[in-house]
């Protein structure tokens, strides 16, 4: 009987994922421990065939060179900019992610941020908790209506489409920008209209980012696009922090060039640009787009199944880099 593959699970996770993994692998887990430093991660990867990582673990060429037995990397997330895919390709290492599972959960949070930023919910809660609410006032914490406002979605993939479906319940016209237009049938089903990105920023009452990160979109949203927004507009980022020039966004919020923002992601997370922290018109949450137990368990199980298939010599259902299988360094299980 051949020896079972050895895997490292780098993140504290749920019992269901550990139990599934132990059915198929020799497992080293991270239960109850702090996240490994890069040096600790390098040490723990020695002799491992695969690794299930969190989005905060950086898998780069130097780490892979120091871990020559690793054949598969699986991330329990949709975004995979923390994994050097080119380095995986050059070493015949399979990389996979967990798309589709968190779409509705993340879109729910997107609407929570839209509502919280538009209706000044965070500001209102701080006002009440500070003991400042003494009487009803006609103009206390006046916000923006969400119903019937135009929603602009940048990135009409699965999450963007889920957000657009929710917009229909609020009678919101939807405009979107995508690198390429979605099928006409999808546009019709969502009652969504494509616009060039600068026109979208000028037209929408609420702009929400749902696109994947790449160097091509680094600081895509900066002073120029923010200047096109209405002074009553709300900006929401569900995507990745690096897509936004945070200094430009802080300037726009501080000077009321736009009304408010709701952010789930940040360029240097978990470090936060200090300029964001003292803005009453910014709703800030700590990258919790997929943070329900049901969704996080499903993501972890999906990531573990990707590893199982890949380490058995098959094609993982959510393989990011099929070209790695054609590389001479690729080793089947």
Exactly one of 165, 219, 251, 287 is catalytic; name it: 287
Three-state helix/strand/coil letters over the chain:
CCCCCEEEECCCCCHHHHHHHHHHCEEECCCCCCCCCHHHHHHHCCCCCEEEECCCCCECHHHHHCCCCCCEEEECCCCCCCECHHHHHHCCCEEECCCCCCHHHHHHHHHHHHHHHHCCHHHHHHHHHCCCCCCCCCCCCCCCCCCCCCEEEECCCHHHHHHHHHHHCCCCCEEEECCCCCCHHHHHHHCEEECCHHHHHHHCCEEEECCCCCHHHCCCECHHHHHHCCCCCEEEECCCHHHECHHHHHHHHHCCCCCEEEECCCCCCCCCCHHHHCCCCEEECCCCCCCCHHHHHHHHHHHHHHHHHHHCCCCCCCECCHHHHHCCCCCCC
Exactly one of 240, 267, 296, 305 is catalytic; name it: 240
Active site residue 287: yes
Active site residue 129: no
Active site residue 147: no
CA dihedral 221, 223, 228, 233 (to 10 degrees): 70
Q: Distance (Å, rounded) from C-alpha 117 to C-alpha 111?
A: 10
8 Å CB contact between 77 and 53: no
Exactly one of 24, 269, 327, 331 is catalytic; name it: 269
- Positions marked catalytic: 240, 269, 287
């Amino acid at each position: 009987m051949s020896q079972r593959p050895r895997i490292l699970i780098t993140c504290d996770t749920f019992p269901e994922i550990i139990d599934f993994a132990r059915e198929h692998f020799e497992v080293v887990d991270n239960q109850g421990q702090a996240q490994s430093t890069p040096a600790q991660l390098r040490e723990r990867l020695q002799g491992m065939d695969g690794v299930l990582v969190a989005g905060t673990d950086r898998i780069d060429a130097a780490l892979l060179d120091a871990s020559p037995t690793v054949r598969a990397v699986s991330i329990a997330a949709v975004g995979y900019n923390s994994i050097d895919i080119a380095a995986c390709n050059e070493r015949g290492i399979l990389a996979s992610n967990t798309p589709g599972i968190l779409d509705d959960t993340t879109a729910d949070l997107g609407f929570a941020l839209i509502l919280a930023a538009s209706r000044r919910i965070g500001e209102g809660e701080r006002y009440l908790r500070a003991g400042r609410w003494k009487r009803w006032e006609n103009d206390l914490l006046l916000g923006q209506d969400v119903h019937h406002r135009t929603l602009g979605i940048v990135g009409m993939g699965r999450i963007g489409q889920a957000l657009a479906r929710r917009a229909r319940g609020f009678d919101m016209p939807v405009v979107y920008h995508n690198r390429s237009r979605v099928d006409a049938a999808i546009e019709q089903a969502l009652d969504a209209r494509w616009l060039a990105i600068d026109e979208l920023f000028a037209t929408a009452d609420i702009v929400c980012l749902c696109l994947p990160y790449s160097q091509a979109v680094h600081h895509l949203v900066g002073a120029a696009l923010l200047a096109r927004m209405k002074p009553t507009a709300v900006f929401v980022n569900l995507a990745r922090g690096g897509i936004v020039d945070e200094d430009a966004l802080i300037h726009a919020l501080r000077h009321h060039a736009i009304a408010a923002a709701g952010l789930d992601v940040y360029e240097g997370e978990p470090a936060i640009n200090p300029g964001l922290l003292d803005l009453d018109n910014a709703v800030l949450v700590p990258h919790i787009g997929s943070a329900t137990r049901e969704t996080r368990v499903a993501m972890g199980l999906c990531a573990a199944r990707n590893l199982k298939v890949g380490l058995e010599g098959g094609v993982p259902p959510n393989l990011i880099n099929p070209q790695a299988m054609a590389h001479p360094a690729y080793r089947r299980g």
